[in-house]
Amino acid sequence: MKRISTIRKTLSIGLGIGLVGGAIWAGWQLLAGPDLSLLPNMVSVARTDQANFYVQVDEVTVAQWNLCHAAGDCDLLLPTPNGDAAASYPATGVSFPDVQQYIAWLNKQTQHEFRLPSTQEWRDMAQEVMPEIPDPIFTDPQLSWASAYITESQISRRLLPTGSYATTAAGVRDLDGNVWEWTRDCYRGSSDPETLNRCPAFYVQGIHESVISYLVRDPARGGCAVGSPPAHLGLRLVSDDPLRP
Amino acid sequence: MIKLNTNAQIPTSRRNMLKGSAIAGAAVLTGSLGAANQTPRPSPMPNIRMNGADLIPVQQREMAAAAPVDLSGLERVKQTLVRPPFAPAHEQVATQPPRIIEVELVVDERLMVVDEDTGASIWAMTYNGSVPGPLIIVHVGDYVELTLRSRASNQLEHNIDFHASTGALGGGALTHIYPGEETVLRWKATKPGVFTYHCAPGGAMIPYHVCHGMNGAVMVLPREGLKDGDGNALTYDDIAYIGEQDYYLPKNSDGSFKTYANAGDDYSESLDAMRTLTPTHSVFNGAVGALTGEKALHSEVGKTVLMIHNQANRDTRPHLIGGHGNYVWEAGSFSDAPQTGLETWFIRGGSAGAAMYTFEQPGVYAYVNHNLIEAALLGATAHFIVMGDWNNDLMEQVVAPHVSET
């Protein structure tokens, strides 16, 4: 009996400490405000028919992503290629839900509104560094299912460090690299967007536009899939507002 | 190397030195791995006894006693081998009497990228620098005279076992060579069909070499060419020579693939990975994507392709998505009538098979190992791009996808 009460007392003390600790943490969060150290480098980019918006200079890196994992808000822990510095490689192998976890965490921590770009916004920022679109290999309408097959030699699929590709005049890097970036635009075929409450696939953008099922982390080559799927899937965030100083 | 030699006998020849260092090197690697893991597994030492080498004296005695053969009346022809997926120039129907076909294979140990996406690479052991080794084509009754040469920069011992040949472990016992050496072997093609060849230096070195890409195929055509079950001639416009390779690449603790400075450095860890019987990659022609995109195979409606599929180690099941196997020599023997109209055919590990198809529709065809996990996740996919006119009688999209009423 005595032992049980001791346990109960210990538990309640523990609970008390936990509550007090929690209150202190919450208070510290309020006092400390947003964690500005997490703000990424952004540049202002012109947009079709709208005011300028703000674009991350680089794709989110492995180091940035793993901070989210360390905080317990991103399920995925990303390895670094070849054991190199995590800060120098883009975060890849991430699905659409993974990306949403990262954005939710970053917005919570920084109290800023980051989001994925739309396909049009992505085209706006990338247009000047995009390669010419090769002619379709089939022109027969019956073969439209196969016409996007790309046989021209393109860039290597080997993942390279951040900053290995072109920089736009606005200062955005690696848009023409081998990491395809998730957009927020849903691909629904002929369906009316209003009739679906979930999106089965999203546009991803890189040196050619592609559509990827939301669950895919690695668009593996092969199987029945026709065409040249993206080499790697990553993300770059944008914002409608400039960063607070 | 110097340290190992002080523990071993003083080498009396380069050959002994190489053998001694290979054995000692394997022991050192196994020992250090066990210590690093703190949980040494009681895995037996790999058997690297040179089975073939033991047989050499017996073979030589028998050969010395054998009646000589006079081939002086036969014409000699050099066959220039080409890189897969292509086939050397050849006749489908032999117009000449049996000949001696001279071919050369150069053993080349080289670092090859298996998958650009992950950076996975392997110190491949190759015949003529490619995985698979080049396709050799002769007719029944011809003699294959092979010059096997090993580059001086290589690290390991190599040889070759031709499943199409007869005697001496398929030639394996007579062709052991060390870096900088060469040997010549002649064998008579007596069985029509497609057959595997591979390196087989002995013991655990056999799967080690085969799983590092050291295999290829020989096609022995009937002198009168290929026939269907009723004896009608079958001809092809092109050959697509596909070698499927299962790789077992050692990984780091974070799941990335290990890299090594030299051929052979991965020996101990490779054997551990191979013991799982679970390949990390299963690819066509040496690497993921080696036969897709800009390296896809090309054909036309109305053209006939003979797809030769070699797998020296592991079972596989080719399937042409959107097409068929019109005539299939599944086990590779051209003595048997081909099966017809197959959807998927089975290639036993340690054999080659052939399937013939005439394209009827344009578009893109995927040629896969129809274990689709291996096709999509491990790399076993090739693509044919076929030009021509679409046939609505064979297929037509009647209603394009649209919003359903329900």
Nearest to B294 among A80, A143, A152 (CB): A152
ipTM (interface predicted TM): 0.76
d(CA B236, CA B51): 41
Query: Are B55 and B173 within 8 A, CB to CB?
Result: yes
Q: Is the pLDDT of residue A226 over 90?
A: no
Sign of CA dihedral A110, A116, A121, A124: positive
Beta-carbon separation of A228 and B293 below 8 A: yes
The residue among B21, B35, B293 whose CA lies nearest residue A155 is B293
**CB hemisphere CA count around B167 (13 angstroms):** 13
The residue among A77, A86, A47, A100 whose CA lies nearest residue A235 is A100
Residues of B in contact with A159 (CB under 8 A): 117, 119
Residues of B in contact with A232 (CB under 8 A): 117
d(CA A80, CA A140): 44
| B53 band by pLDDT with thresholds 50, 70 and 90 | low
At A116-142, the pLDDT tens digits run: 999 999 999 999 999 887 778 888 888
Beta strands in chain A (DSSP E): 42-47, 50-56, 179-187, 201-205, 210-213, 232-234, 238-239
**CB hemisphere CA count around A99 (13 angstroms):** 27
Task: Report which secondary-structure segment, H or E, holds B30.
Answer: helix B14-37
pLDDT on residue B52: 54
Q: Cα B404 vs. chain centroid, distance in angstroms?
A: 50
pLDDT on residue B42: 42
| A33 band by pLDDT with thresholds 50, 70 and 90 | confident
- Specify the amino acid at residue A224: C
What the block records as the tokens of B245 is 């390779």
d(CA A181, CA A62): 14
d(CA B250, CA B212): 12
Q: Is the pLDDT of residue B43 over 50?
A: no
Beta strands in B206-250 (DSSP E): 215-221, 226-227, 233-234, 238-247
Query: Are B131 and B285 within 8 A, CB to CB?
Result: yes
Query: Are A92 and A80 within 8 A, CB to CB?
Result: no
pLDDT on residue B16: 41
pLDDT on residue A69: 97
| A24 band by pLDDT with thresholds 50, 70 and 90 | low
Q: Is the pLDDT of residue A162 over 70?
A: yes
Q: Residue B214: phi, psi to the nearest 5? A: -90, 75
Q: Please indicate if any CB of chain B lies within 8 Å of the CB of A197.
A: no
Residues of A in contact with B288 (CB under 8 A): 221-222
Class of residue B400 by CB neighbours under 10 A (exposed 0-12, middle 13-18, buried 19+): exposed
Indicate the average pLDDT of chain B. Answer: 88
Nearest to A151 among B256, B376, B385 (CB): B385
Q: What is the DSSP string of B285-311?
A: TTSTTTTSGGG-EEEETT-EEEEEEEE
CB B389: neighbour CB atoms within 10 A?
Answer: 12
If one compares B6 and B382, the residue with the highest pLDDT of the two is: B382
| B354 band by pLDDT with thresholds 50, 70 and 90 | very high
If one compares B124 and B293, the residue with the highest pLDDT of the two is: B124
pLDDT on residue B50: 53
Nearest to B372 among A146, A192, A223 (CB): A223
Determine the angle formed by the axes of helices B267-275 and B14-37, rounding to 10 degrees: 60
Place of tokens 């989210």: A68
Beta-carbon separation of B376 and A223 below 8 A: yes
Query: What amino acid positions of B are annotated as catalytic residues?
Result: 158, 161, 163, 198-199, 209, 214, 319, 343-344, 370
How far is the CA of A103 from the CAs of A57, A115, A232, A237, B42, in angstroms? 16, 7, 19, 8, 49
Query: Are A124 and A102 within 8 A, CB to CB?
Result: no
Q: Is the pLDDT of residue B382 over 80?
A: yes
Residues of B in contact with A146 (CB under 8 A): 362-364
Class of residue A124 by CB neighbours under 10 A (exposed 0-12, middle 13-18, buried 19+): buried
Of A72-81, B53-62, B312-321, give the lowest mean pLDDT range: B53-62
If one compares A78 and A23, the residue with the highest pLDDT of the two is: A78
The residue among B286, B341, B340 whose CA lies nearest residue B310 is B286
Q: Please indicate if any CB of chain B lies within 8 Å of the CB of A33.
A: no
